[in-house]
Amino acid sequence: MSTFLYKADPVRGQDWRTVFARERPDVDFRIWPDVGDPEQVRYLAVWEPPEDIGQRFPNLQAVFSTGAGVDQFNLKAIPEHLPLVRMIEPGIVEGMVEYAVFSVLALHRDMPAYRRQQAQADWRPIPVQPAQERRVGVLGLGSLAQAVLARLGLFGFDCAGWSRSRRSLDGVTCYAGQEELDAFLARTDILVCLLPLTDETRGMLGARMFNILPRGAGLVHVGRGQQLNHADLLAALESGQLGDAILDVTHPEPLPADHPLWRHPRVWLTPHIASMTRPDTAARTVLDNLRRLENGEPVIGVVDRQKGY
Ligand code: NDP
Ligand code: OXD
């Protein structure tokens, strides 16, 4: 019997177990550290991979990330022949849509400013800008960004996105590549980062980018902490170049208790909760990919190791 080994949050793992028991009783589903016979392990679903995957599990056929991002993997440590598959499932997409739409609406309707006013017992309306005149720009046009943009479009926002390769999406002005980045930024009042962490995107959210945004622009950061330069963010907030920032990811996580971002009046911080895989839908998504592997069909979400995402 083939073993499917799950190595992530054990409580959520019980939900995976239930789905596997119902839909694939022929698979021996195990939760780390209950590995069983390592030679029987064909599939591994993992958030933080163990060392020496290839040697530990010589008959492994695929590695599934239990999250959408794969920057926690050392791609070089995973044998070339093994597909690494990231998580694209309805639960994580819907969670991100909720968080990103909430954040964009909060910035659009000046909620951080009203929180500051409330602290001063200051009852003062701020003129409302129509959504059609608010230019939202999303860095990244992948599975999460596309869903976020589709929902933002329903509010009438002027939506744009930026990706590495040229994309075409209904109702979204699409920019591609470094040569179009500045034009994208210059038209963006609320910037949402939904990029994967790679060598190219590390440190990207910094002074150069902030200075191209229209003065007072808002930032929603839901990508990865290492993409954001904290010192540059603080400087941009101090100077008024950035208005407010909503950050779900930082580096490190959590920030040290005395870090200025914790108490900055123009920053809302959440503890990397924008979106999480939903165990039942995630398990079903992985089972669909398992079936594809077994039938020799293309697997959905295979990571391109050259690109790193
Ligand atoms: P995808 O792989 O589907 O999409 C990535 C997008 O980023 C693609 O459009 C890609 O361009 C673009 N991109 C990557 N590198 C570059 C670059 N150098 N220049 C321009 N564009 C680039 O990822 P997802 O949408 O599924 O997820 C995005 C990220 O969101 C994850 O990697 C993770 O870090 C983060 N995330 C955060 C969560 C949270 O709770 N905060 C939860 C889940 C995910 P192209 O289309 O040309 O390939
Ligand atoms: C993910 C995350 O990548 O939760 O799935 O950040």
Set out the domains of the chain in order of their start, with CATH numbers: 3-89+277-295 (3.40.50.720), 92-269 (3.40.50.720)
Give the span between the Cα atoms of 219 and 226, in whole angstroms.
15
What is the per-residue pLDDT for 46? Answer: 97
What angle do the packed helices 90-108 and 143-154 form, to 10 degrees? 50
Position 51 pLDDT exceeds 90: no
Please choose from 195, 247, 275, 285 the residue to mutate so as to test ligand 2's pocket, defined by most ligand atoms within 8 A of CB. 275
Query: Is position 224 annotated as part of the catalytic site?
Result: yes
What is the per-residue pLDDT for 21? Answer: 98
b (16+ CB within 10 A) / e for 66-98: bbbbbbebeeeebeeeebbbbbbbebbbebbbe
If you measure from the C-alpha of residue 59 to the centroid of ligand 1, how many angstroms do you get, rounded to a whole number? 30
169 contacts: CB under 8 Å, gap ≥ 6: 141, 146, 149, 161
Segment 112-121 shows an average pLDDT of: 98
Please choose from 85, 92, 94, 250 the residue to mutate so as to test ligand 2's pocket, defined by most ligand atoms within 8 A of CB. 92
Cβ 69 under 6 angstroms from ligand 2: yes
| Atom in ligand 2 nearest the alpha carbon of residue 249 | 6
Among 129, 48, 145, which residue's Cα sits nearest to residue 93? 145
Q: At 26, is the pLDDT very low, low, confident or very high (cuts 50, 70, 90)? A: very high
- Residue 256: both structure tokens together: 């040290």
- Residue 203: both structure tokens together: 């440190």
- Half-sphere exposure of residue 28: CA atoms within 13 angstroms, side-chain side: 13
Please choose from 65, 163, 285 the residue to mutate so as to test ligand 1's pocket, defined by most ligand atoms within 8 A of CB. 163
If you measure from the C-alpha of residue 224 to the centroid of ligand 2, how many angstroms do you get, rounded to a whole number? 9
Give the span between the Cα atoms of 28 and 38, in whole angstroms.
12
Position 132 pLDDT exceeds 90: yes
The structure's pTM equals 0.97
Cβ 249 under 6 angstroms from ligand 1: yes
| Atom in ligand 1 nearest the alpha carbon of residue 248 | 41
Partners of residue 246 on adjacent β-strands = 220, 268
Cβ 68 under 6 angstroms from ligand 2: yes
Position 2 pLDDT exceeds 90: yes
Catalytic annotation, pick one of 12, 221, 224, 278: 224
Position 47 pLDDT exceeds 90: yes
Give the span between the Cα atoms of 148 and 93, in whole angstroms.
8
Give the span between the Cα atoms of 44 and 27, in whole angstroms.
12
Ligand number with the minimum distance to the CA of 99: 1
Catalytic annotation, pick one of 164, 167, 187, 272: 272
Cβ 144 under 6 angstroms from ligand 1: yes
**pLDDT tens digits for 250-285?**
999 999 999 999 999 999 999 999 999 999 999 999
If you measure from the C-alpha of residue 263 to the centroid of ligand 2, how many angstroms do you get, rounded to a whole number? 25
Query: For residues 1 and 42, is the Cβ–Cβ distance under 8 A?
Result: no
Give the dihedral sign, CA 93/5/248/140: negative
Q: At 201, is the pLDDT very low, low, confident or very high (cuts 50, 70, 90)? A: very high
Phi, psi for 263 (deg, rounded to 5): -115, 10
Among the listed ranges 43-52, 124-133, 135-144, which one has the minimum average pLDDT value? 43-52
The secondary structure of 262-294, three-state, reads HHCCCEEECCCCCCCCCHHHHHHHHHHHHHHHH
